[in-house]
Amino acid sequence: MTTDEYGSVGYFSELFSDIIADLETEGNIRNVMAGFEQAINSWLDYHDECSSRYRELHRRFLTGDLD
């Protein structure tokens, strides 16, 4: 656990150090990279869904369809 302020360089340094410590094998390296990609895709999906809901809210606002 980091004692550095959230979002600081020190915070991320400690975060990445924890990940690097797990890179003992080639398989772990591949899994870290695949996990990173999976996390990115998960956030993209989340934000795409949010964007769709905001667009629907905006459409209803503009058309007066508030039911």
Could you tell me the CA-to-CA distances from 39 to 18, 23, 60 in Å, in that order? 17, 18, 32
Q: Measure the CA dihedral 44/49/53/56, to 10°.
A: 100
Mean pLDDT, contiguous 10-residue spans, the chain (67 residues): 88 94 89 96 98 97 91
Instruction: Say what the pLDDT of residue 67 is.
Output: 78
Amino acid at 6: Y
Instruction: Say what the pLDDT of residue 1 is.
Output: 61
User: What token pair was written down for 24?
Assistant: 């003992």
Instruction: Say what the pLDDT of residue 41 is.
Output: 98
